[in-house]
Chain A
């Protein structure tokens, strides 16, 4: 059974803070993804990684960066949090080309 975990379920941060969201998977999956989910906008891809130290921009990378130092761990970094980054953040993984498995999500509130 695939297990994808995220470091926090809820997070409250202040504008300008540096924020780290972490995703860990235990299935040796190569590909990992970070999405944000907003009402009416669906899931939008921020960044993804297909291997350790490899990363590619998704559709909305501005204001975010990522880090993948180990295969099982993919971190999303908000360099200087802003109120428009208040959202639900979902991590997903896939072993190859098809089914993506999601983590439980982190609901981030930036004040």
Chain B
């Protein structure tokens, strides 16, 4: 069936360093790729998304890249800060179908001060 693989499952970086989280999807029909951040005890919240007609999108310290040929997409966080510590989920969705998301298994990011 359709699935999304996410790596790594945990990631520790020093404050100020960059963090990269990678996802691979299996459904060729996927054309929308959101990233969610979930802080401890809180609900997941959308931080950035990308559609299949673009290869990269940036929002301040956060960027997402998409390689449709390889079915890879990645989240890049630069100049990490302690408040970036959270669990990050990637997802893939096809907007031509039932609007379901397939989520990755999550990455726990720890930013060490």
Contact = CB atoms under 8 A, between A and B. Distances in A.
Q: A and B: partners? A: yes
Interface of A: 31, 33, 35, 40-45, 48, 50, 56, 58-59, 90, 94, 96-105
5 pairs of A and B residues whose beta carbons are closest in the complex? A97-B95, A42-B105, A102-B43, A43-B103, A42-B103
Interface residues of B, number: 23
Nearest to B105: A42
Interface string B71-96: 00000000000000000010001010
Nearest to A104: B43
Contact of B101 (A100, A101, A103): A100
Interface of B: 1, 6, 9, 32, 34, 36, 42-46, 49, 89, 93, 95, 98-101, 103-106
Contacts of A90: 43-44
Contact of B44 (A45, A59, A96, A102): A102
Nearest to A9: B41
Contacts of A103: 43
B94 to A, nearest CB: 9
Contacts of B101: 33, 43, 45, 100
Contacts of A42: 6, 89, 103-106
Contact of A94 (B44, B45, B99, B105): B99
Given A40-B9, A90-B43, A99 B103 contact: no
Given A42-B89, A99-B46, A104-B43, A58 B99 contact: no
Nearest to A42: B105
